[in-house]
Amino acid sequence: MENLKDKYKSFLLIFAIANIAVFWVIIVSGRDISSVPDLISVLLSEDGLFMLFAPLISLVLNGLMSVKTKAQIIFWRYKHPLPGCFAFTKFVSKDSRIDAGKLKAKWGELPTDPDEQNRLWYSIYKSIEYDTRILSAHKDWLFSRDVSAYAILFQIVFGIALFFFSGELETKIYYGIFLAIQYLVAVIVARTYGERFVTNVLANGV
């Protein structure tokens, strides 16, 4: 069966290229880009050669963080960051589709310990992992999780790089704000898809 990550690798590459392009054009080249057409024209010209390195950079970035680390930067929890760790104490009551009684009847006593919750949730997931609804929810979660990982790495790497390039302070401040907003938006989306993945499994696991 096709790897779920293969279905969105091209979108991650586009996200990486877009971030590299904005940094290269605005910070490194010091271009004054006042419109989207201007940005596109620059990228398609000589600076576009820089994008040849984007696939390699994207591959490296995707391997820098573990599954746990990615979850930590999304849910801002050092311990028990995976969404499945709160499947039965938090998410069961948030979705009207979930019948806790049927879950208990089929899977036994619902745990409250975070690690045990994640283990039971994962067992339920494995029993229905090829259901089309679960596959779709899983893909959305993986994609949004990886985008969040890219976003925080870009914020760190490009944020530090700002100190090594000349340019107007105002431009650097606006660019820094852009990076922060991009990360926060990615986190909000990833949290939504993470919770949806958990609840879809619980709703269909009986």
Q: Give pLDDT tens digits for 109-148.
A: 999 999 999 999 999 999 999 999 999 999 999 999 999 9
Q: What share of the chain in percent tops pLDDT 90?
A: 54
Cα 2 to Cα 80: distance, rounded to the nearest angstrom: 29
* 25 in Cβ contact with 156 (< 8 Å): no
Amino acid at 121: W
Query: Does the pLDDT value for residue 1 go beyond 50?
Result: no
pLDDT in tens, 92-108: 988 899 999 999 999 99
| 159 vs 182, residue with greater confidence | 182
Domain ranges of the chain: 4-204
Cα 165 to Cα 38: distance, rounded to the nearest angstrom: 22
| 33 vs 65, residue with greater confidence | 65
Query: Does the pLDDT value for residue 191 go beyond 60?
Result: yes
pTM, two decimals, is 0.82
Query: Does the pLDDT value for residue 63 go beyond 70?
Result: yes
Cα 155 to Cα 180: distance, rounded to the nearest angstrom: 7
110-119 own/partner pairs: CB under 8 Å, 24+ apart: 112/88, 114/79, 114/80, 114/85, 114/86, 115/80, 115/85, 117/84, 117/85, 117/86, 117/87, 117/88, 117/89, 118/80, 118/82, 118/84, 118/85, 118/87
pLDDT in tens, 6-21: 778 788 888 887 887 7
